[in-house]
Copies of this chain bind each other. A is one copy, B any other.
Amino acid sequence: MNSDVPQLSASVIAVAKRLFVDIEKASKDGLGVTRPSYGDGETRALEVIEGVAKQQGLQCQYDSGANLWISLPDSPAGPATVIGSHLDSVPQGGNFDGLAGVVAGLMVLMHFKTTGVVPTNPVKVLALRGEESAWFGKAYMGSLALTGQLSEVDLALKHRETAQTLEFAMKQLGVPIDVVKAGQPLVDLSEIGAYLELHIEQGPTMVARQWPVSPVTGIRGNVRHNHVVCQGETGHSGAVPRWLRKDAVLAVAELLSRLDEHWRVLQQMGMDLVMTCGIVSTNAQSHAVSVIPGEVDFSFEVRSQSEQTLEQFYQLMRNECEQIASSRGVTFNFDRKLFTKPAIMDPTWIVRLSQACQDFGIETENMPSGAGHDAAVFSNFGIPSGMLFIRNDHGSHNPHEAMEIDDFVLGVNVLQRALFN
């Protein structure tokens, strides 16, 4: 640690506080904020950020993907450490999801500019568009387009309200669609030496553990089925004896109970794993209190930082289905298996961020991100990436998210100190 690295000044903190208020005002919608991907609220947020950055004497530039880059005026050439996050939000969402990471980057640059103490590697801030899947049903549109990974199928996706395509929305902002379709990056990616993202936690772990700030070890991928149908046989609930029943509800209950127990044990053995069956329903056409349920439709999702764990747990689930199908005379029918690759944060950056946390007396443990972030796109693209979570109550994607400004300032101090480690 470089113990000479100064901490954020009160004036920088005041600018940040003001930014949160101004951007919330600029995108207020009911209780929350609405900043549609490649839409008005998002653009207004970018403009407010740009205005403040210029006021502070920083350089601003939009790339062809319509994302904003901010740097020190005298920033040297060569691969930069990019501090980034997104400025869009879900409909009537919270103010800090995404925005906190961009404001953090801006604070770091302002801090460097005022103190004159700068790390060896150049540092840039990237304010991305289009991270939330709520608008076009696709996440990471901004970072995927930037890295040449947004497909034609994605571009044809339609906006949830206007029904206009993503291609249309991007074109309106001047994005060269032919370059996107050709799978070419929108910037010189060799200029991105590393990607760092500060983000509010979207779960309750840090509040419960009393961790204000925590480095993130990885971003969980997932395997999903939107629909698994367990088919049994309907029958009179009084007249069919146990040995002749093919009860789809009891079959699914057994499956979930077995998997829940496996999950408990595997997690105790150190595996990173969460399992969710978010939707379950008997057949509304044929179900009744006094009819043995002949059909259950349910969803299945498992998330892990480890691709191997994902695949192994998935196979375990399929094996359990086979056993239960055979013992209970039911069948399990699966729709398309959906897979999202996990992303591992760069070990060097995990150490740097952890070291910086320790410098501030913050205990850290392994903290995976359950939700997705642009950092996953950069990491899976081969760019060393790091993430820092800020404690946040009430989850995210709702107006009630609650990040304390002191936790945020501590996080930005950790972030800027890590740049010197």
Contact = CB atoms under 8 A, between A and B. Distances in A.
A204 interface: yes
A238 B371 contact: yes
Contacts of A288: 278-279
A160 to B, nearest CB: 14
Interface string A277-291: 111111010011111
Interface of A: 201-205, 208, 220, 222, 224, 226, 235-242, 244, 247, 249-250, 252-257, 260, 263-264, 267, 274, 276-282, 284, 287-293, 296, 299, 301, 303, 369-372, 395-397
Q: Lowest 3 CB-CB distances: which A-B pairs, in order?
A: A238-B370, A203-B239, A239-B370
15 contacts: A203-B235, A204-B244, A205-B241, A205-B244, A236-B370, A236-B395, A238-B303, A239-B396, A253-B254, A276-B290, A276-B292, A278-B290, A279-B293, A280-B282, A281-B281
A242 B242 CA distance: 34
A215 to B, nearest CB: 16
A201 B244 CA distance: 14
A280 B281 contact: yes
B202 A280 contact: no
Given A203-B236, A267-B242, A289 B280 contact: no
State the copy count for this chain. 2
A222 to B, nearest CB: 7
A115 to B, nearest CB: 35
A222 B238 CA distance: 9
Contacts of A260: 250, 253-254
Contact of A396 (B202, B236, B250, B370): B236
A293 B280 contact: yes
A21 B405 CA distance: 84
A290 B137 CA distance: 14
Nearest to A276: B237
A287 B298 CA distance: 11
Contact of A299 (B208, B241, B277, B289): B289
Nearest to A263: B242
A376 B2 CA distance: 87
Contacts of A247: 276
A314 B42 CA distance: 56
A293 B278 contact: yes
